[in-house]
A and B are shown apart, each in its own frame.
Chain A
Amino acid sequence: MAKNAFNGNKDWPKMWRSPEPREFYDAIIIGGGGHGLGTAYYLAKEHGLKNIAVIEKGWLGGGNTGRNTTIIRSNYLWDDSAHLYEHSLKLWENLSSDLNYNVMFSQRGVMNLAHNEHDIKEIKRRISANNLNGIDSLWLSKEEIQKKVPIMNTDNLRYPVLGASYQPRGGTARHDAIAWGFAMRADEMGVDIIQNCEALQIKTKNGKIEGVETSKGFIRANKVGVVASGHSSVLAETAGIRLPLQSKPLQALVSEPIKPIIDTVVMSSAVHAYVSQSDKGELVIGAGTDSYNSFTQRGGFDIIEETIRAMVELYPVFGKMKMLRQWGGIVDICPDASPIISKSDIEGLFFNCGWGTGGFKATPGSANVFAHTIAKNEPHQINAAFSLERFVSGKLVDEHGAAAVAH
């Protein structure tokens, strides 16, 4: 380490190769975030595909994987979503040993606050639905919340805290680690991870996939999986497919580091503030989405103002804290606030997108079932409900209630 410190950290071994793209791949994954790298990992590990590439226009995990608030939970209302997110949570629980890389998964519990009579009914209904699906979820009274989070102001505010749902198995994980862990292990199995390679056009012929035109030339492929979050619909457009997605900036911010003060994750959809404390001591605060479509990765100040207002009301002790950084990520939102993990009308072209404001928690589960979908050409039973067909049949999975960010 001392040697490396003296020569400018130039000689550390690389965590993955950076090969030039080959002419042909069995499968190309567009998007080198957690979901994309995970898909490549599970394709190689569970489905025996060897000739795979992940192409990424920036650097690995530089999009929403590195921009979210790392909250993990599975307390969704409907069976289809509960199964999907619970599948993911179960994978999270063994991911560090599976990847032999510490993803710093910390099951510190996740609380969703109720601020009015309607919230209470809605949340209690969700708890019962969760329990029927075998998901740990319980009701906390105001007194129990006060015991867990003594710094919370439960009474003296416009929307008092009346109770909460609590999922003890929920928590947080390290956002970069999931991208790096998947990338290292996929790379070891021969997956080509190609950074600084922008997908320009998805080429198709007679309803079949041909390949991807990239900034490093044309690459042929039998199968292409688009996992490009906010830009998925823009890429789909190049293949003549219109996806029911709208892209908006979602913001988050972190404070200066402080001593341990909050040892769980507290979310409130009603007043819109959610917070956890990172291992470095920073408060990680999630804000909302802008009301208009945008790809600017910044977001409006009024959104931060609204979140900070709620934060200071809920935790008066944070009132004098300084915020260190603020950023935005472009999230793609479906009309029913549920994702799309689906085949498309074009043979060999697959989409994993529409994760909206809550994709991080689903990273391993989404990657796992998407790899199955690509390898077998048909959905895993867990993601069958999340096909593009649902917007024609009308069988939507309406998760506006369980999604953290109201939209």
Chain B
Amino acid sequence: MLIIECPYCGRRDQSEFSNGGEAHVKRPDGSSEISDREWSEYVFVRSNTKGIFYERWVHSHGCRKWFNCVRDTSTDEILKTYRIDDTRPKLKDFKNLVDTPSGEPELGSGNFTVKK
């Protein structure tokens, strides 16, 4: 269970929040011209990063505001939360703990079948 820092209310229990999936997804322009494949990409496909992941949360049982979050999905560590109008933090600001696409971090993974 996570402790999430709402940029408006401070540190709160995860049960107050709802997850909104990947952040910074842009709706494509020219909706009448674009192909079915491009639509499909926008409607159904989201990044499923193992490692540093940009995502959205909403403080449903608090201030009810949406905000963005950078979390390491290989350890669940929350690295940064920021307001929607803040600039997006750069990927290189964070340390990626996973060396290979499906590798495991030294700490924070429950996958003991491949841990060294």
Contact = CB atoms under 8 A, between A and B. Distances in A.
Are these two chains actual partners, yes or no? Answer: yes
A301 B15 CA distance: 11
A107 interface: no
Contact of A335 (B44, B100, B109): B44
Nearest to B22: A293
B20 to A, nearest CB: 9
A328 B48 contact: no
Contact of A238 (B36, B44, B101, B108): B101
A346 interface: no
Main secondary structure of the interface of B (DSSP, over half): loop
Interface string B35-64: 011001101111111100101000000000
Contact of A296 (B21, B108, B114): B108
A196 to B, nearest CB: 8
Given A57-B102, A58-B114, A198-B103, A293 B48 contact: yes
A328 B37 CA distance: 34
Interface string B1-29: 11000000000001100110100000000
Interface stretch (A119-127, A239-247, A310-318): A239-247
Interface residues of A, number: 42
Contacts of B46: 244, 246
Interface string A21-63: 0000000000000000000000000000000000001110011
Interface in A167-209: 198-201
Contact of B101 (A200, A291, A327): A200
Contact of A237 (B1, B21, B101): B101
Contacts of A132: none
B100 A200 contact: yes
A296 B41 contact: no
Contacts, number: 102
Interface string B77-100: 000000000000000000000001
Contacts of B71: 292
Interface size classification for chain B: 35 or more
Given A198-B102, A233-B48, A391-B44, A327 B110 contact: yes
A231 interface: yes
A253 to B, nearest CB: 13
Contacts of A244: 40, 44-46
A238 B48 CA distance: 12
A344 interface: no
Interface in A370-407: 391-394
Main secondary structure of the interface of A (DSSP, over half): loop
Contacts of B48: 233-234, 237, 243, 245-247, 293, 332
B102 A231 contact: yes
A244 B2 CA distance: 26
B18 to A, nearest CB: 7
A199 B108 contact: no
A231 B50 contact: yes
A63 B14 contact: no
A295 B48 CA distance: 10
A228 B36 contact: no
B76 A296 contact: yes
Contacts of B101: 199-201, 231, 234-235, 237-238
A293 B113 CA distance: 21
Nearest to A303: B1
Contacts of B31: none
Contacts of B102: 57, 198-199, 228, 231, 234-235
Interface of B: 1-2, 14-15, 18-19, 21, 36-37, 40-41, 43-50, 53, 55, 71, 73-76, 100-103, 108-111, 113-114
Given A242-B41, A246-B21, 4 more contacts: A57-B113, A235-B102, A244-B40, A244-B46
